[in-house]
Amino acid sequence: MFDASGRDNNTYNVDNFEFIKKTSPVVGGFIEKEYYRQKNNVELIASENYCSEAVLAACGSCLSWKYAEGYPYVRTSGNTSRYYGGTEFVDQLEEYCCDVWRKVFDTDYHVNVQPHSGSQANFAAYKSILKPGDTILSLSLDNGGHLTHGSSVNFSGTLYNMVFYDVDERGYIDMEDVRKKALACRPQLILTGASAYSRTIDFPAFAEIAKEVGAYFMVDMAHIAGLVAAGYHESPIPYAHVTTTTTHKTLRGPRGGMILSSKEFAEEHKLNKALFPGIQGGPLMHVIAAKAVCFKEALDPAFKEYGKNIIDNAQALANGLIKRGIKIVSGGTDNHLMLVDLADKGLTGKEVEKWLDAAHITCNKNTIPDDPQSPFVTSGVRLGTAAVSTRGFNTDDMDKVAEAIALIIDDHEANTEKAAAIVKSLTDKYPLYE
């Protein structure tokens, strides 16, 4: 979809919504509007990215309506057969998808590519090793964790006894706090991974603590999976009993999930069965096909360069904001994202998100550690560089993005037009779908 500069010179998207408009002008019209929004905005939502034309085509293929409940006939754990006929080719496809992702992550581990999402992958992993009421030690939502890591409004927080570790005064995961709480509560599971944590995670240290207290160790690497695949973050797979991920975000595939574990662990804990029939029905074979398509890009040498660009761009954006007087939680970033702390500005994430959107910069409000505001308001915004790196932005461009953001934070009423002009210069420089 994208050449080396991030440019896309095909007409796939335009042809697609124009075709849809022939059947449903309303739906085609909404897709057209979203197309132009993406085209004209700088996308800084850390969990979003652009995927290839081939991935999009797989998602819209004849596999969309193919039912294949169960697992391919060659599987040796969980349900070993399908519950529908006509699965010869989708069986082969699913096995191929599992095989190629082993290559991406350089492992011989068991891979389950059926989860509809990262949340489903997490739920299945919990179900395979825990009973309701068991204790999980994880990073809290306001310290950078995820809803499925024990939030009280989520199934994880209602089914399990949650104990949370925190970040220290620098904004880094406090490993002493992790160990202290692990020794005190003796959890059945220690979980790490995050949706809003910008520093490298020490997987070996977590694994040692889990071993010390006799806990299972699980990693949700959804946000950093692309960086792991590119070699810019240590892989958790050798250290964790079970690893979950999404297939979009930094991986640039379709929205979906995966679970990885040793073959022995998967069989002992009936990991496949925990997913199906445990928590979901038929797999989305069109999405599994799209997951298989995007692996080729992840194995291409250009993907490693893309991973480096993500980190370089994130650091350039963070440094650009810091030099303009804007506070970043932990003082910077090691991965694709950062948290802007607006508390000392007397601003909320909710209002800054809205102001930035008016200047065609897309981000999301986000809690910061010890946030005085509610999760619906927040004192921060989360920024990520995966999508803009795919689009072709470089470090100089990210400094311009930092300038536009700083203008909005300083005085959005006076500076919206000026910030929007900076954005237009960048989106014109890197046309997304032309």
Q: How is residue 51 annotated by DSSP? A: -
Say whether 297 is catalytic: no
Say whether 220 is catalytic: yes
Half-sphere exposure of 292 (CA within 13 A, CB side): 21
Say whether 246 is catalytic: yes
- The amino acid at residue 276 is F
Name the catalytic one among 95, 220, 297, 334: 220
Name the catalytic one among 148, 243, 246, 348: 246
Question: Are the CB atoms for 136 and 334 separated by under 8 Å?
Answer: no
Burial 45-72, CB ≥16 within 10 A → b, else e:
bbbbbbbbebbbebbeeebeebbbbbbb
Report the C-alpha gap between 162 and 44 in whole angstroms.
Answer: 31
Name the catalytic one among 12, 21, 35, 69: 69
Name the catalytic one among 252, 255, 391, 400: 255
Report the C-alpha gap between 229 and 188 in whole angstroms.
Answer: 29
Question: Are the CB atoms for 28 and 21 separated by under 8 Å?
Answer: yes
Q: Are strands 337-341 and 242-246 parallel, antiparallel or unpaired?
A: unpaired
Name the catalytic one among 12, 35, 67, 172: 67
Name the catalytic one among 66, 82, 127, 249: 249
Say whether 268 is catalytic: no
Q: Are strands 364-366 and 42-43 parallel, antiparallel or unpaired?
A: unpaired
Q: 342 is written with which tokens?
A: 């607006």
Q: 6 is written with which tokens?
A: 């991030």
Residues belonging to the active site: 67, 69, 220, 246, 249, 255
